Chain A
Amino acid sequence: MRSDGSLTALMLFLPPAVLLFSLFVIWPIFTAVDLSFYKWNGYGDVTNFVGFDNYGILLKNSIFHQSLFNSFKLLLASIFLQIPLALVLALLLYRKTSANTAFRLIFFAPYILAEIATGLIWSFIFDGDYGVSAMVADKLGSEPFYILADKQWAFWTIITVVVWKYFGYHMMIFIAALQAVPTDLIEAAEIDGASPLKTIWYVKLPMILHAIKLSVLFAITGALQVFDIIIPLTNGGPSNSTHSIVSFLYTFGLARMNVGFGAAVGVVLFILCVGTAFSYKRLAIDKGGQL
């Protein structure tokens, strides 16, 4: 028994946290797992046990396959487009000058916008009848284009908007990390005759690797959860081709009152999130030693 009072502190401060966590995280997860074995339309008692039927339907559902694939595309875009873009901008803007501050503000602004507002703004931009894209087409004298009505391109549009919205957030993480890189290291490299690119490659990037790893983790979990940008932009259409896993869950589980089916989608999403987050942590972060 320790005598420094840490046990008392533990006894005092742990229960509220454990209680809240259990009530709002653990308990809903178990309820969702339980519900996913039932067919339930939201009314009355949950009695219609169907075993793994909901999962079976889910596995065969082609729209779910498309949604999974879309979420995967979002994940790749977040890691391989968004983070490099954020990194380049951070390297350009991390020094403290007033012009840099202004640019940082501009690039960070999309992140502050509410997701729904972002979706509405961009749906106006892409609106081929009354929106910005209609004006552009009119000025160019070409036929208006309706990118969000096009199965081929609609999801790329969503990816663009997601990258546009969140790159500023990652940029800020990188800027903070870059500003913490000791200047004497950079100066030493310069004195040794390292070119700016080499300084970046051999000094700055290794010094902010922990921030990059953290950013990638945020990008992964964020990409798996994209929802409120899709609803106002395409509402999952055309022909249900632009759903993410979460918008699929909402549209086919909640809006249609297939609560059990929705719970099954939620369980799959949960496993995917936890699975990727843990394996990423093991692969990238633990090996690197620190976060």
Chain B
Amino acid sequence: MKRYAVLAVLAVGMFASAPVLAETVKVLSIEPNVKEGRDFYASAIEKFEKANPDIKIQFDYLDDTSFKSKLPTLLQSSARPDIFYTWTGGVFHEQADAGVLKDISGEVDKKTLDTFAPGGIKALTYNDKLYGLPMYAGVVVLFYNKELTQKAGVDPTTIKTWDDFLAAVKTIKDAGITPIVVGGKSKWPLQHYYGYLATRIAGVDGIAAAKAGENDGLAGPDFVKAGEEFKKLADLQPFQPGFMDTDNSKAGGLFGDGRGAFILAGNYMIGAQKRNSTSGQGISDDKLGFIPFPVITGGKGDPADTFGGINGWLVSKNATPAASKFLASLMNLDNQTVSAGMDLWLPIVKGADAGIRNANVKAIANLLAAAPHHQLYLDQELGANVGAAMNDASAELATGDISPDEAAQMVEEAHQMH
């Protein structure tokens, strides 16, 4: 009995010691790859808690895979986080349809909304309801190793069309250099090719129409054509030997080690190729160049359209207004300028790009700013199931296991299964 009494006293003591009005906002994030990312969140939280002593932020991390598999159960339990990380796209839409999200349109004032690039807000809006706030974007470009392309006698800045690119790949291969490094084991880096080609050929509107089931959906002629163009590249055997046993981080290391001339990757690769290289130095900024993804002649997509990610935070149902208050604070210009300085993320808040230090990151941010449309990675756009089928199809096109027709069919089958 005495023991229970002690416990009771302890419990009462714990409640009493907490500030009476303190409210806790639970945030669930994916693990940032670098220490700077963790530091950024820590300092943003500290600032917010200082300004709002009645709100406590509990910030938890999970690795990507556990995050994705635990989230559905978590969101439907009472232990759900108030705010959680999102890649936007199909999975976000499924969550909104399931009614586990909160419409925060009424909680974010127009002044705050106007600080964001409109495309970013659009990505967090579904059926005219705003469910969260965007934080950063990623844009996929073709990076190249200036030393290697020079050695092969290729000037990547002259590459404008897909055929130009194919010709350059051939020249580089003939010079005895691996033209392209890719992390085939991760599959989605191969989807960048298929997806970007589809964006160029079908256009952003065409992809949206296919998603809605028009023109034979994802098995329509534009997607078959994208597969055919990708197959033209794959037939040149442009990738490093053993590319199907290379995951994306190792691919970054190989590229940083100068084991291939090109890599198609998001802006994060500027830092990743350094971190993952053997020396830890990678390719120095002045020896690393990039070009936008080549254009397909006759394609319906705008040549200036970009392809990549938009990431942000969603608010779950039953969250209090404190959640959106924290999000707005995390996304204020000060914080976002600091985060832009990490050269990891392309900020979505207007003016925050002033914080970008790296010239390549800056140039990619300008590419995004000038883009009429920003197409979300197709595996994110299409949701967990169809997205995975898209990645599978891309990988099997690259290994030559299936034809462009079969690839498009495979994706559409998954699409209809849903």
- State in angstroms the CA–CA spacing of A254 and B246 once bound together: 23
Q: Provided the pairs A43-B76, A237-B185 are in contact, do residues A255 and B244 lie with their beta carbons within 8 angstroms?
A: no
Is there a chain B Cβ closer than 8 Å to A33's Cβ?
no
**Residues of A close to B418: CB separation below 8 A:** 41
What DSSP secondary structure best describes chain A's contact surface? loop
Chain A interface residue bracket vs B: 20 to 34
**Residue of B with least CB distance to A240:** B392
Interface residues of A in 244-263 (CB under 8 A from B): 251, 254-258
- State in angstroms the CA–CA spacing of A290 and B404 once bound together: 58
- State in angstroms the CA–CA spacing of A41 and B245 once bound together: 30
A-B contact pairs, 12 of them (CB 8 A): A42-B73, A129-B250, A129-B259, A143-B241, A149-B184, A149-B241, A149-B242, A237-B184, A237-B244, A238-B184, A240-B392, A257-B94
Interface residues of B in 186-218 (CB under 8 A from A): 187
**Residues of A close to B401: CB separation below 8 A:** 151, 239
Q: How far does the Cβ of A159 sit from chain B's closest Cβ, in whole Å?
A: 17
**Residues of A close to B94: CB separation below 8 A:** 41, 43, 257
Contact A149 B417 (CB under 8 A): no
Q: How far does the Cβ of B355 sit from chain A's closest Cβ, in whole Å?
A: 35
Q: 9 tightest CB-CB pairs across the interface, nearest first?
A: A146-B242, A43-B98, A42-B72, A149-B245, A238-B244, A149-B244, A148-B245, A44-B98, A256-B385
Contact B417 A257 (CB under 8 A): no
- State in angstroms the CA–CA spacing of A113 and B185 once bound together: 24
Contact B254 A238 (CB under 8 A): no
- State in angstroms the CA–CA spacing of A257 and B385 once bound together: 7
Is there a chain B Cβ closer than 8 Å to A266's Cβ?
no
Contact B384 A257 (CB under 8 A): yes
Contact A146 B392 (CB under 8 A): no
Q: How far does the Cβ of B125 sit from chain A's closest Cβ, in whole Å?
A: 19
Q: How far does the Cβ of B301 sit from chain A's closest Cβ, in whole Å?
A: 28
**Contact bitstring A227-246, B, C-beta under 8 A = 1, else 0:** 00000001101111000000
Contact B388 A256 (CB under 8 A): yes
Interface residues of A in 122-146 (CB under 8 A from B): 123, 126-130, 143-146
Contact A128 B68 (CB under 8 A): no
**Contact bitstring B97-112, A, C-beta under 8 A = 1, else 0:** 1111000000000000
**Residue of B with least CB distance to A126:** B245
**Residues of B close to A257: CB separation below 8 A:** 72, 94, 384-385
**Residue of B with least CB distance to A145:** B242
**Residue of A with least CB distance to B98:** A43
**Residues of A close to B254: CB separation below 8 A:** 129
Number of A-B contacts (CB under 8 A): 92
Is there a chain A Cβ closer than 8 Å to B344's Cβ?
no
**Residues of B close to A258: CB separation below 8 A:** 385, 417
Contact A255 B69 (CB under 8 A): yes
Is there a chain A Cβ closer than 8 Å to B171's Cβ?
no
Q: How far does the Cβ of B63 sit from chain A's closest Cβ, in whole Å?
A: 13
Contact A43 B72 (CB under 8 A): yes
**Residue of A with least CB distance to B71:** A42
- State in angstroms the CA–CA spacing of A18 and B131 once bound together: 46
**Residues of A close to B392: CB separation below 8 A:** 240
- State in angstroms the CA–CA spacing of A123 and B95 once bound together: 36
- State in angstroms the CA–CA spacing of A146 and B392 once bound together: 20
Given A128, A235, A239, A256, which contacts B242 in the complex, CB threshold below 8 Å? A128
**Residue of B with least CB distance to A258:** B385
Is there a chain A Cβ closer than 8 Å to B163's Cβ?
no
Contact B245 A127 (CB under 8 A): yes
Is there a chain B Cβ closer than 8 Å to A26's Cβ?
no
**Residues of A close to B245: CB separation below 8 A:** 123, 126-128, 146-149, 234, 238
Q: How far does the Cβ of A137 sit from chain B's closest Cβ, in whole Å?
A: 11
- State in angstroms the CA–CA spacing of A222 and B242 once bound together: 30
Contact A254 B69 (CB under 8 A): yes
Contact B244 A57 (CB under 8 A): no
- State in angstroms the CA–CA spacing of A240 and B95 once bound together: 28
Q: Provided the pairs A128-B245, A144-B241, A239-B401 are in contact, do residues A43 and B385 lie with their beta carbons within 8 angstroms?
A: no
Contact A255 B259 (CB under 8 A): no
Q: Provided the pairs A42-B73, A129-B250 are in contact, do residues A239 and B395 lie with their beta carbons within 8 angstroms?
A: yes
Q: How far does the Cβ of B235 sit from chain A's closest Cβ, in whole Å?
A: 16
**Residues of B close to A129: CB separation below 8 A:** 240, 242, 246, 250, 254, 259
**Residue of B with least CB distance to A251:** B388
**Residues of A close to B253: CB separation below 8 A:** 130
**Residues of A close to B240: CB separation below 8 A:** 129
**Residues of A close to B65: CB separation below 8 A:** 255
- State in angstroms the CA–CA spacing of A145 and B242 once bound together: 8
- State in angstroms the CA–CA spacing of A99 and B39 once bound together: 53
Is there a chain A Cβ closer than 8 Å to B403's Cβ?
no
- State in angstroms the CA–CA spacing of A123 and B250 once bound together: 12
Q: How far does the Cβ of B255 sit from chain A's closest Cβ, in whole Å?
A: 12
Contact A41 B242 (CB under 8 A): no
**Residues of A close to B396: CB separation below 8 A:** 239
Contact A149 B243 (CB under 8 A): yes
**Contact bitstring B214-254, A, C-beta under 8 A = 1, else 0:** 00000000000000000000000000111111100010011
- State in angstroms the CA–CA spacing of A227 and B186 once bound together: 18
Q: Provided the pairs A43-B76, A128-B241, A255-B69 are in contact, do residues A235 and B185 lie with their beta carbons within 8 angstroms?
A: yes
Q: How far does the Cβ of A239 sit from chain B's closest Cβ, in whole Å?
A: 5
**Residues of B close to A57: CB separation below 8 A:** 417
**Residues of B close to A148: CB separation below 8 A:** 242, 244-245
**Residues of B close to A151: CB separation below 8 A:** 399, 401
- State in angstroms the CA–CA spacing of A257 and B240 once bound together: 33
**Residues of A close to B100: CB separation below 8 A:** 43
Q: How far does the Cβ of B189 sit from chain A's closest Cβ, in whole Å?
A: 13
Q: How far does the Cβ of A100 sit from chain B's closest Cβ, in whole Å?
A: 38
**Residues of B close to A128: CB separation below 8 A:** 241-242, 245
Is there a chain A Cβ closer than 8 Å to B297's Cβ?
no
**Contact bitstring B248-272, A, C-beta under 8 A = 1, else 0:** 0010011000010000000000000
**Residue of B with least CB distance to A235:** B185
**Residues of A close to B241: CB separation below 8 A:** 128, 143-144, 146, 149
Given B384, B385, B399, which contacts A238 in the complex, CB threshold below 8 Å? B399
**Residue of A with least CB distance to B414:** A256
- State in angstroms the CA–CA spacing of A129 and B388 once bound together: 27
Contact B97 A43 (CB under 8 A): yes
**Residues of A close to B250: CB separation below 8 A:** 129-130
**Residues of A close to B185: CB separation below 8 A:** 149, 234-235, 237-238
Is there a chain A Cβ closer than 8 Å to B279's Cβ?
no
Is there a chain A Cβ closer than 8 Å to B278's Cβ?
yes
Contact B98 A130 (CB under 8 A): no
